[in-house]
Structure 1
Amino acid sequence: MSEPKAPAPPPGDTYKGWLFKWTNYIKGYQRRWFVLSNGLLSYYRTQAEMGHTCRGTINLATANIVVEDSCNFVISNGGAQTYHLKASSEVERQRWITALELAKAKAVRMQAESDDSGDDCPSPSALQSGQGSGARNSEVQSTLRTLGSKVEDLSTCNDLIAKHGSALQRSLSELEGVRLGGDTGDKIRQVTERATLFRITSNAMINACRDFLALAQAHSKRWQKALQAEREQRVRLEETLEQLAKQHNHLERAFRGATVLPPPLATPAGDSKGKGDASDEDDENEFFDAMEDVPEFITVPADPKYHRRSGSNVSGISSEIGMDDQSLDEQSLASNPESPQPQEVAPVRKQRRTRIPDKPNYSLNLWSIMKNCIGKELSKIPMPVNFNEPLSMLQRLSEDLEYHELLDKAAKCQNSLEQLCYVAAFSVSSYSTTVHRTGKPFNPLLGETFELDRLEEFGYRSLCEQVSHHPPAAAHHVISKRGWTLRQEIALASKFRGKYLSIMPLGTIHCIFEKSNNHYTWKKVTTTVHNIIVGKLWIDQSGEFDVVNHRTGDRCHLKFAPYSYFSRDVPRKVTGVVTDKDGKAHFVLSGTWDEKMEVSRVMQSTRGGGENGADGKQKTVYQTLRARELWKKNPLPEGAETMYYFSSLALTLNEPEEGVAPSDSRRRPDQRLMEHGRWEEANAEKQRLEEKQRSVRREREREAARAANTTEDGEKAGAGNDVCLVSCLPPGVHQDNYKALWFERTEDPTTGEVTHIYKGGYWEAKEQSSWDECPDIF
């Protein structure tokens, strides 16, 4: 029975499709995406991997293709690589065999031509350069002169052949007459000589023709390659010109949208309708321009809660004008004539320090201290300053503002989804300072504060206060004159597991934008310190959280992938999807938490397709436009490895300043001694401060007990109420009813959580130098 004739593969040099590849006896045949291009057969796990991860490649020029049965075939290159493949049907298998055989024949032919062309052929890069063009012209002239001389040789040989041929013919005629009359000796000798001359001339002619033909063939191949290179260069120039024309057209439309003309300069009233139609046409052109960008594919695990409201597995193309040819910030500025322009006056920069004393090389065994603390809270482990860095936790919390410009850009955005992208990038950027920072920050004393006043330089003011000690919790409030407010209360829960240390931040971060009234919230992921027992300490961040816009319902789901030795992904990878209230995806974020984050507009999203993640969930493949960079980490200052790997901002946090509160972390003596390398004195001072804090706490507890006894004497049910008060205190609040100075504990109107919110008064007290209410904690 003859096999059914399969249709020929589609025209072109590339053929793509799904095939089943044999992996091992456990997994059997696995579905893989194969791409045949330029004589090479490559395969990937998914289509999304085509841009970054190739799983294997075979050169068909040296490969054997063997058909086993109706659907199976084998490709091998002599033992080093062998692919056992299976198609979904006999027709599909025949399509692949046809495409592979054609590609193999072409690859063999191209390899032979490349071998024949020699090593002296100009490279494509040389052909594209001006120097290559000049060399090519001189080479053509030289070749033409050589061919001309060869043609003259051929002409001379032709004349000689005609001359000697005529003489030989006459000699033969004369020889015939002599044979009839006798006396043939002299004539035969004459004929022999002329025949020899004819043979010599003919051989010369043949050799000259052979040389001419070889030279012409060799240079013909070189000229064909040069012509092909010129054609390819012309195509590239045409594509570049087309892209420039599109960008020019886009910039013209953006300029028209950003320019507000006064009435006297506007289009006459009779043309107003036509002008409006042209604007609608521009919007449609913008949509199609976006479609002509080269799409990329990004695969992320699907979460049903972000797609349950969408009516289809495939979301339509987003209709907003977004990041087709410009960055988010540029488009926001272009679409918002009232927003501050880049020409504003440059901020006044105060000269701040760029170095701190180098870290002393003191050796201390961490395991000898922590082996008896397994399972305990980190805040309850007495740690010497040898494992610290000369910053408090309040100052580390203020380091979240290193990339405050992301919130400045977000405040200028008109589109809430674009604004959400910047807020999500800001939430990731706060982890970039932790990648090399294995030192433990100082636990703040109860009532300790830290201010970061950058109003004149960057337009914001930050205040932190330690509002609880067991468990440790700090309240943070930032106000910016650029139109945003940031506040958070972070409590730390930590466990030492022997080989690693887990730190779980508890609490919610809030960011509010004045102009749009958008209110965003998110949380922090788990920080893990590895190699506690042996090896070099290293930090990892892992977990998931949502950045939610409570006004619009938009959200960005961010996932921090934990490090795995067996994973093929980039270390410290972060992915995110921005969806609207209906669950429709608009942007995809990708990058790493220690380097940069990029954003891509979603053109199409498809769920399923037979590809499942490691956890068994279906994956969603997002077809996106070209990625744009949202955030990139600032380089560390020179010599950072000897300065605890501090960033430029971290180097300034503990710099002494006049006018700060007496409870400010800059005034903490043990931290200051450690910064100057006097660790023994710092350990002694740290012990003194902790004992002072314990005595103050005991005194507070005694006062609370006396107050409870007074209430019990005055009211019989008072004791029961006190017991209820003590037992019902939420986490993060002392049972001795400690009350923060600058923050007030209240219920958050947006999330319903009980948290500390800034009640005001600190900056006014600073202006008046009135610190009478500040506790004496140092």
Structure 2
Amino acid sequence: MSEPKSPTPTPAGDTYKGWVFKWTNYIKGYQRRWFVLSNGLLSYYRTQAEMGHTCRGTINLATAVISVDDACNFVISNGGAQTYHLKASSEVERQRWITALELAKAKAARMQAESDDSGDDFSPSSLPVGGGQGGGSQNSEVQSTLRTLGSKVEDLSTCNDLISKHGSALQRSLSELDSLRLTGEAGDKIRQVTERATLFRITSNAMINACRDFLALAQTHSKRWQKALQAEREQRVRLEEALEQLAKQHNHLERAFRGAAQAHAIVDNKGGAGPGKGEASDEDDDNEFFDAMEDAPEFITVPADPQFHKRSSSNASGLNTDLCADDQSLNEEPLAMNQESPSQDLVPLKKRRTRIPDKPNYSLNLWSIMKNCIGKDLSKIPMPVNFNEPISMLQRLSEDLEYHELLDKAAKCHSSLEQMCYVAAFCVSAYSTTVYRTGKPFNPLLGETYELDRRRESGYRSLCEQVSHHPPAAAHHAISDRGWTLRQEITVASKFRGKYLSIMPLGTIHAIFEKSNNHYTWKKVTTTVHNIIVGKLWIDQSGEIDIVNHTTGDRCHLKFAPYSYFSRDVARKVTGVVMDKDGKAHYVLSGTWDEKMEFSRVMQSSRGGENGTEGKQKTVYQTLKARELWKRNPLPDGAESMYYFTALALTLNEPEDGVAPTDSRRRPDQRLMEDGRWDEANGEKQRLEEKQRSARREREREAASQRASGQSEEGAPHDSYKALWFESCEDQFTGEQVHIYKGGYWETKELGNWEGCPDIF
């Protein structure tokens, strides 16, 4: 790629552009950047393509100091807050930049002085900052317009002086010609030219006088305009504050009304005389429709014709009546279970804890550790517990069951398409626990396990085991008495990119429903942790998920929109479409991965005329009113001091009798960290990791000796480790090599015989 030619000044546009080398740091030295000088501001970009969206820095030349270091180097400083050390490609090029910068600085300073004087007490800096978006830009536009008008009238005044000067000279010359007393045709022509010159001078003077009157009038009214503008802006601020106060009061009243309505509904239900909660919500939902999404690249949704809504009240609607029946049957299920086995009423359920020790305020220089990790896989780098939260990755994996009731409802569905809606909501709900969770879970030791037995409370039991260390992989198996099984093997790949950390979960999740024999699979999206070095950490989920029902061929395509400063959409947005095997859309899903998901039944669909991204047409869906699929549970009180754990997460590391000796609850460094003894936890963590490395080296020595003696085949793995509760096999649906639960754990727990478990702690 050839070097671009040196830029040349363009006075008409009052700009100067070109490549300059800018000092970045002692590691990278001078880096080539694209600089733009315009309107008294010097801005720079990494490339010319960035000019439309990302400015890397700007200096106002009105208050800047420009100094020359040597033949090619020069420095621009803005009072110490910003300093650019720059180097041009040649001395000539440096001089061009210095000349352009000095001229721009003089003009910027002059315009700033004029701006300060022209507005009396109304300078741009004196206007209210909180006057709403665009307030400062409106004032700047008015000031710029006035300055432009003044400049043009000054130009006219200069032209007037020139016209007067040249006109007088023309009059003298004509008078001299007239004094020659020429006769005939020449004399007539001279007199004609003299008359026309006189008329032209009179007209020019009249025009200039009118322009002067206009300038005086504009200057007189400019202060009034600025005062009126400021008054309007202050009025808007007051209205915005009043509106915000009204919104808060409305929200408070709405909550109070809901609380009173719920209490009233409970009393009515106990008395058997009032309508149920579901009936009341159906009446409130009559005017609630699925919102149209402005920038959705795939589809737009609009409310369907009223005839569809009328039809939805009959049994022909299919979804609404089925869902109501499902919800009702689910609410009645615990009662039915108790009737079948009345002896369960005599056994009280275990009371789970609701608090853990508050997080200590330990300070640690993050950059001192992370600067050596750029571009590396963080799973291979030892990290202190200061960045962790006191649970392991196996426990975080078990948190996917936070909203297990969605799978309970899915198991009750008669339609596979309705079932797909609940499976999709369950898939999205797994991310709701991550929105505030910036702590890193403990990397499990090889052979570490975690059980989550909620059979009595919620009807399911879950088991996780760390089946591989490099790459780190965990196998998970959960089975419910309510007719579903969930299994997954997740390998986490992570890369630190400097400003952010990308976490890519690899592996497939399977959900199998016993009644319908429907088998669903999907993968997880990428998690990104932003502001690793500077600023407050925040987490985003982005990517696309395809949920496939291998039994019926139904599909659901979910899109997690990445966060963008420039998007008008709600943050953390998720959209999706449920389609049958023929590609016909039946349901539209929408919501956010941190709050709630809604769904609407599609009545009609058509290709829209408006082009979406990449020239594709958007599909327009006419839908029935939106109904809520899932809503996030509120965090417990004081969650901000307890690592933002949910109510379920607070119980995950609670000590429990009878669990395996390899269970994460028994991990000593994790327990010490939860108790706030972080220094001891770091020492214990190093001991456990060294013990794990020693065990690995021992297995490798045994494998090498077996190969040498011919007891193992050539090409056998160097590490002969095999998982205890899961066995490796090929997945018949995805073709991946996965670990599937082989049974025996819960039976071993019943017997209390853990002799086969490895000693990892």
Q: State whether TM-score is above 0.5.
A: yes
Is the Cα–Cα contact under 8 Å of residues 330 and 409 in structure 2 kept in the other structure? no
Give distance in 2, aligned partners of 1:322 and 1:656: 52
TM-score by length of 2: 0.58
**Counterparts of residues 46-61 of structure 1 (less than 5 Å):** none
Are residue 744 (structure 1) and residue 743 (structure 2) matched? Answer: no
For the Cα contact (< 8 Å) 1:299–1:620, is it kept in 2?
no
- Give 1:462's aligned residue: 462
User: In the superposition, relative to structure 1, how do residues 344 and 356 fare at CA in structure 2: closer, same or farther (>3 Å)?
Assistant: same
Q: Quick one: which of 757, 760, 772 aligns to 2:743?
A: 760
Q: Which residue pairs with 1:677 in the alignment?
A: 676
The answer to whether residue 541 in structure 2 is matched with residue 541 in structure 1 is: yes
Does the aligned pair in 1 maintain the 2:354–2:651 contact within 8 Å?
Answer: yes
C-alpha contact (below 8 Å) 1:540/1:562 kept by paired residues: yes
Q: 1:567 to 1:777 in 2, by over 3 A?
A: same
- Cα 1:586–1:298 shift into 2, 3 Å: farther
Matched, 1:364 2:364: yes
| d(CA) in 2 for partners of 1:486, 1:520 | 10
Determine the structure 2 residue equivalent to 1:688: 687
Task: Give the superposition deviation at 1:767.
Answer: 0.4
For the residue of structure 2 that corresponds to 1:709, the secondary structure is: helix
- Alpha-carbon distance in structure 1 between the residues aligned to 2:758 and 2:425: 38
Partners of 1:502 and 1:328 lie apart in 2 by 41
Partners of 1:620 and 1:338 lie apart in 2 by 37
Cα 1:679–1:769 change in 2 (3 A) is same
Residue 605 of structure 2 aligns with an amino acid whose one-letter code is: S
Paired with 2:536 and 2:364, the residues of 1 have a C-alpha distance of 14
- Could you give the per-residue CA deviations for residues 128-162 of structure 1, whole angstroms, max 9, x where no partner exists? xxxxxxxxxxxxxxxxxxxxxxxxxxxxxxxxxxx
Q: How does 1:100-111 map to 2 (within 5 A)?
A: none
Distance of 1:642 and 1:323 partners within structure 2 = 48
**Identity, % of aligned positions:** 73
CA distance in 2 between counterparts of 1:382 and 1:294 reads: 51
Higher relative contact order at CA 8 Å, sep ≥6: structure 1 or structure 2?
1
The separation in 1 between residues aligned to 2:373 and 2:499, in whole angstroms, is: 12
Assess if the C-alpha contact under 8 Å between 1:545 and 1:558 holds in 2: yes
User: SS at 2:700's partner residue?
Assistant: helix
Structure number with greater Rg is 1
Task: Give the equivalent residue in structure 2 for 1:76.
Answer: none
Contact 1:297/1:622 (CA < 8 Å) preserved in 2?
A: no
Residues 59-458 of structure 1 mapped to structure 2, 5 A cutoff: 297-298=292-293, 326=320, 329-332=323-326, 340=333, 344-345=337-338, 349-458=349-458
1:574 & 1:674 partners in 2: Cα distance?
35
TM-score, length of structure 1 as denominator length: 0.57
Aligned-residue offset at 1:343: 5.4
Q: Deviations over 1:87-113 (max 9, x none)?
A: xxxxxxxxxxxxxxxxxxxxxxxxxxx
Structure 1 residue 612, shift from structure 2 partner? 1.8
Mapping of residues 432-511 of structure 1, within 5 Å? 432-511=432-511
Query: Given residue 624 of structure 2, which amino acid in structure 1 is its aligned partner?
Result: L
Distance of aligned partners of 1:506 and 1:293 in 2 relative to their CA distance in 1, 3 Å threshold: closer
Cα pair distance change 1:564/1:519, threshold 3 Å: same
User: What is the rounded CA distance, in whole Å, between the counterparts of 2:356 and 2:625 in structure 1?
Assistant: 42
- State the distance in 2 between where 1:338 and 1:388 align: 38
Amino acid at match of 1:682: A
What residue in structure 1 maps to residue 126 of structure 2? none
1:340 and 1:394 mapped to 2: Cα distance? 30
Query: How many angstroms apart in 2 are the aligned matches of 1:463 and 1:327?
Result: 36
1:770 is displaced (CA, Å) by 0.7
| SS of equivalent residue, structure 2 residue 750 | helix
CA distance in 1, matches of 2:324, 2:293: 25
Q: Residue in 1 aligned with 2:617? A: 618
TM-superposed CA distance for 1:376, in Å, is 0.7
Per-residue CA deviations over 1:160-186 (Å, capped at 9, x if unaligned) read xxxxxxxxxxxxxxxxxxxxxxxxxxx
Q: Is the 8 A contact 1:353 1:652 kept in 2?
A: yes
Q: Which residue of 2 aligns with 1:580?
A: 580
Say if 1:498 and 1:533, in contact at 8 Å, map to a contact too. yes
Kindly indicate whether the alpha-carbon contact (under 8 Å) linking 2:289 and 2:626 is maintained by their aligned counterparts in 1. no
Please state whether the residue corresponding to 2:615 is helix, strand or coil: coil
- Report the CA distance shift for 1:300/1:484 in structure 2 as closer, same or farther (over 3 A): farther
Structure 1 residues 302, 642: closer, same or farther in 2, change over 3 A? closer
3-state SS of 1:433 partner: helix
Output the CA distance in 2 between the equivalents of 1:349 and 1:386: 35
C-alpha deviation, 1:710, in angstroms: 1.5
Deviation readout 1:505-545 (Å, 9 max, x if unpaired) = 00000000000000001110000000011000000000001
Q: 2:685 is matched by which residue type in structure 1?
A: K
Show CA shifts across 1:419-448 (max 9, x none).
Answer: 110000000001000000000000000000
Is the contact made by 1:322 and 1:331 (CA closer than 8 Å) also made in structure 2?
no
**Amino acid of the residue matched to residue 357 of structure 1?**
P
TM-fit CA distance, 1:737: 2.7
User: For residues 103-127 of structure 1, what are the alpha-carbon distances to aligned partners after superposition, in whole Å with 9 as ceiling and x for unaligned?
Assistant: xxxxxxxxxxxxxxxxxxxxxxxxx
Give the drift of 1:752: 2.1
Secondary structure, counterpart of 2:671 in structure 1: helix
The separation in 2 between residues aligned to 1:303 and 1:756, in whole angstroms, is 36
Please say if residues 576 and 589 of structure 1, whose CA atoms lie closer than 8 Å, have aligned partners that are also in contact.
yes
1:640 maps to 2:634 = no
**1:681 is matched by which residue type in structure 2?**
E
d(CA) in 2 for partners of 1:749, 1:621? 37
User: Is the partner of 1:701 in helix, strand or coil?
Assistant: helix
Instruction: Deviation per CA, 1:48-67: give whole Å up to 9, x if none.
Output: xxxxxxx99xxxxxxxxxxx
User: In the alignment, is the contact (CA less than 8 A) between 2:483 and 2:515 conserved in 1?
Assistant: yes
Q: Note the aligned Cα RMSD (angstroms).
A: 3.2
Greater mean deviation of Cα atoms: 639-648 or 293-302? 293-302
User: 1:292–1:594: structure 2 CA closer, same or farther, 3 Å change rule?
Assistant: closer
Structure 2 SS opposite 1:488: strand
Secondary structure of the equivalent of 1:630? strand
Q: Is the 8 A contact 1:296 1:624 kept in 2?
A: no
| 1:481–1:621 Cα change, 3 Å | same
